[in-house]
């Protein structure tokens, strides 16, 4: 085994064995996790559920170590691989927050996500205790971060979602259209993604919502490019939004974008298996208020007005749906002991 690989493996081993994993330069209380980073070339999405009947002390001990590990991984990646744009963001579900006896009152809008049912399509709700969003331009680093987290979580939880996302051309989904054009940029990313005065107790935190979509590629490819553009509301080649007098009222752009003052930060990534033709999009967004996300989902699945649902849902099915709270780095650091 080459010396550099042995060195990297040794570092990960030390991280696992060190249960304290004290970090230097403890982060400021209200500093957010890396929720405003831009989508990366390689991404791991992991959803874990705690096993029933796990001893409370063991559960809390592992959770404490995982919180410290996330802080450590981000600091280590920044120091050792500054050009990799690597980060790990951890979110906590409502039931996990209660089970772990985390601070009360809870973040104002943290709850179990309830399914949103339209006449034809449903935004399903699925259980999730912890969510990890791992990004890196270096695929090996993303893998190692996911692996070391999984080694620690395996003793008390089951991974119910593991998605390996990748950048497709110029940030396009597998459907062929650019994804995330309406994302805010610059300081607006923090404004729309990070809690400020909305909930003073949890400044620096974010609401994280995720859905795993599976595309019906055969049905999609049966459409002409012009028909596909009407479903999305944008040109496929040049990524230019249709004018309001041409854009269909049930297009994705018309219903998913609910106003310039109601935005979220999306980090969607394509994933899937080419051989089985099961390709999809992992929808992920960070928001300062979850009510913004709920309004968007209501528009898409129920319709605005009701019945005028998002046409893209005829070709993309949501198979998961979960809400998590992303604590600030300071709060996460305090959870790590």
Residues with a known catalytic role: 179
* Sign (positive or negative) of CA dihedral 21, 27, 32, 36: negative
- Residue-wise burial string across 281-307, b where 16 or more C-beta atoms lie within 10 A, e elsewhere: bbbbbbbbbbebbbebbbbbbbbbeee
Count of other CB atoms within 10 angstroms of residue 82: 9
Euclidean distance between CA atoms 48 and 6, whole angstroms: 29
* DSSP H helical ranges for 194-259: 217-221, 225-232, 252-256
64 and 336 Cβ atoms separated by less than 8 Å: yes
Beta-bridged to residue 213, according to DSSP, are 281, 318
Beta-bridged to residue 286, according to DSSP, are 208, 265
69 and 185 Cβ atoms separated by less than 8 Å: no
The Cα diameter of the chain in Å comes to 63
145 and 152 Cβ atoms separated by less than 8 Å: no
Strand residue runs (E) in 24-66: 42-50
Backbone angles phi, psi at 181, to 5 degrees: -60, -30
Euclidean distance between CA atoms 146 and 140, whole angstroms: 10
Euclidean distance between CA atoms 322 and 84, whole angstroms: 28
H/E element, 171: none
H/E element, 95: helix 94-99
Q: Residue 180 is encoded by which pair of tokens?
A: 């995330």
């Amino acid at each position: 085994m080459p010396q550099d690989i042995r060195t990297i493996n040794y570092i990960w081993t030390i991280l696992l064995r060190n249960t304290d994993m004290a970090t230097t330069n403890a982060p400021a209380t209200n500093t957010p996790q890396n929720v405003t980073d831009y989508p990366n070339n390689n991404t791991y999405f992991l959803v874990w559920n705690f096993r029933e009947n796990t001893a409370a002390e063991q559960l809390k001990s592992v959770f404490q170590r995982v919180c410290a590990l996330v802080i450590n991984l981000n600091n280590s990646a920044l120091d050792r691989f500054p050009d990799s744009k690597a980060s790990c963001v951890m979110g906590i579900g409502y039931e996990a927050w209660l089970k772990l006896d985390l601070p009360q009152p809870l973040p104002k809008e943290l709850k179990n996500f309830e399914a949103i049912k339209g006449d034809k399509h449903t935004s399903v709700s699925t259980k999730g205790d912890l969510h990890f969003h791992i990004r890196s331009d270096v695929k090996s680093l993303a893998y190692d971060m996911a692996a070391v987290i999984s080694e620690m979580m395996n003793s008390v939880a089951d991974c119910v979602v593991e998605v390996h996302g990748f950048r497709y051309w110029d940030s396009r989904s597998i459907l062929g259209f650019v994804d995330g054009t309406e994302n805010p940029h610059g300081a607006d990313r923090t404004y729309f993604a990070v809690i400020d005065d909305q909930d003073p107790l949890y400044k620096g935190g974010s609401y994280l919502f995720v859905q795993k979509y599976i595309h019906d590629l055969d049905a999609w490819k049966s459409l002409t490019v012009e028909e596909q553009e009407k479903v999305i509301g944008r040109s496929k080649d040049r990524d230019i939004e249709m004018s309001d007098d041409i854009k269909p009222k049930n297009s994705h752009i018309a219903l998913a974008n609910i106003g310039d003052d109601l935005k979220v930060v999306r980090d969607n990534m394509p994933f899937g298996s080419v051989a089985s033709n099961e390709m999809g999009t992992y929808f992920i967004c960070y928001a300062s208020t979850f009510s913004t996300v709920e309004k968007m989902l209501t528009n898409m699945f129920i319709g605005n007005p009701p019945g005028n649902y998002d046409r893209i849902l005829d070709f993309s099915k949501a198979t998961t749906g979960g809400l998590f709270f992303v604590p600030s780095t300071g709060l996460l650091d305090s959870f790590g002991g």
